Amino acid sequence: MNAIGWPNWRRLNQEGIVFAIAILLFAAAALGLPGFLTADNLVAIVRSVSVLGILALGMAVVIIGRGIDLSAVAIMAMSVAWYLQLLNTGTSDGLAFVYVLAGVLAIGLLNGFLVAYADVPAIFVTLATGSFVFGYVRSQLITQDAVPVPGGHWVELLGGVRFLDIPVEVFVFAGLAFLVFLFLRYTKWGRFIYFAGDNPVAARNIGVPVRPMLVLRYVLSAFVALIAGLLTAASLHSINTRIVNSTLLYDIVLVAVIGGIGLSGGRGGVRNVLVGAALIGILLNAMTIIDIPLLYQNLIKAAILLGAIIVDGIINPRDEQTAQQGDI
C-alpha cells in the first residue's frame, strides 16, 4: 500500500484478488444477465449489502484490533426489538431510546471489560454476551419474535426516506464508511488500533492505552449494530429476532475477511470492507437473477469464504509474533 492508499498492483494481495473477482463477476453479469446493468439494480445491489456492510464496518474495527464481536447480530436485533416493544407498550419515545442506548452501551462495555481487563478470549466473551442478550431480551422484555414498528413512528418514516431515488441505508452506509475511514486513518486512536492489533505488548510498552481502547472498540461495534438494526426495522416496518439464528453473523465475518482484513489483526481498513461487500452483493444479486436455489447459494458463498481463508493463510502467513501471542 502506498501513501495515498491505492492497492499496490505489483504485489497481488487478497484484497486485489477479491476485487478482481468482483470486477469479473460484474462484467460477466452485465453482459450475460438482462437487467443487471440498470441503475435500479445497481442501487438494489448496494442496498442489499448496506446493513451487512455497516455491521462489517464495526466488525472490521474490532478485528483490526485483534478481536472479534460475535454478539453484533444479537445486539442489532434485540436492542431494536426492545425499543419497539417499549414504544408499543406506551413508553415515551425519548425515554425508550435512552433505555436502549444505555443497554447497548452496557453490553459494549461488558464485552470490552471482559476482554481487556479479565483477559477472557473475545470469541468466548462475545459468544456468551450475544446469547445472554438474546435470551434475556427475548424471555424478559419482549413477547414474541417479530415486533412491529408503531404506525407513523420516525423509524417507519426513516425507511421511506429517498434521495435521488436511493434508499437512506445506502447513504448511512457510505457516511459511516467515510467516518470509520477518517477515524482509522487520521486519528491518533485510529492508528493505535493497528499498533495494538499488530503487537499488543509492544503497543503497551510504547505507551498506547491498549485496554481502554479495546473497550472503546466493543462499544463502537455495539452502537454500529444498533444503527444497523434501526435501518432494518425502518425498511421492513418490523424487526424479527429470528435473525439472530440466521447466517448473518457469518456473513459479516465473511465480508470482512474476504475483503482482506486478516483475522490475526493489525491489517486492513474500510476499503477491504467495501471490496468484500461488493463481491457478496454482486454474487447474491446475480445468483438471484439466475434463480439459483438457496441451498446452492449458501454452498457457493461458503466455498468462497473457505477459499478466502486459505488464501489469507498463504498470503498473510502467521509470523513468529502471532504464533507466540496467538490471535483470536
Partner 1 sequence: MKLLRTLMAAATALAVTAFAAPSFAADDPGPAAYAKSLNGKRVMLVPLAMGFDLAQGWAHYLKKEVEAWGGTFETRDPNWVVDAGAQAITDAIASDTRPDVLIIHAPDLNSYSKLMKKAQAAGTYVLLVDNPANFPADAFVGSDWDKLGQLEAEAAIKGCGENSSKKIGLVQGDQANSSSLYQYAGIMKVLEKHPDFQVVAKPDSNWDATTSRNVTTTMLQQHPDICSIIDFWDGDATGASAAIRDAKLDGKVFLVTTGGGEKAADCDKLEDGTYGAVVMTDLARQSGDMNAIIKFLLQSGQPAGTSHTYIYTLEKATTKADLKPDSCWDLKALQAEAAAK
Q: List interacting residues with partner 1 (CB under 8 A).
A: 34-35, 38, 40-41, 44, 47-48, 51, 138, 143-146, 148, 159, 167, 232, 235-238, 240-243, 245-246, 284-285, 288-289, 291, 293-295
CB 325 within 8 A of CB 72: no
| Smallest separation, CB 233 to partner 1 (Å) | 10
The DSSP-derived string for 222-240 is HHHHHHHHHHHHHHHSEEE
**Grid coordinates of 308:** 478466502
Please say which residue, 94 or 293, places its beta carbon nearer to partner 1: 293
| Smallest separation, CB 243 to partner 1 (Å) | 7
Distance CA 263, CA 19 (A): 19
Please say which residue, 13 or 48, places its beta carbon nearer to partner 1: 48
**Cα 171 from chain centroid (whole Å):** 16
Distance CA 227, CA 205 (A): 35
| 41 CB burial (10 A radius; 0-12, 13-18, 19+) | middle
Please say which residue, 173 or 181, places its beta carbon nearer to partner 1: 173
Please say which residue, 205 or 288, places its beta carbon nearer to partner 1: 288
| Smallest separation, CB 312 to partner 1 (Å) | 27
Pairing of strands 166-167, 162-163: antiparallel
Please say which residue, 144 or 321, places its beta carbon nearer to partner 1: 144
| Smallest separation, CB 110 to partner 1 (Å) | 23
Q: Which amino acid is at 20?
A: A
| Smallest separation, CB 301 to partner 1 (Å) | 12
**Grid coordinates of 46:** 448496494
Please say which residue, 167 or 190, places its beta carbon nearer to partner 1: 167
| Smallest separation, CB 162 to partner 1 (Å) | 9
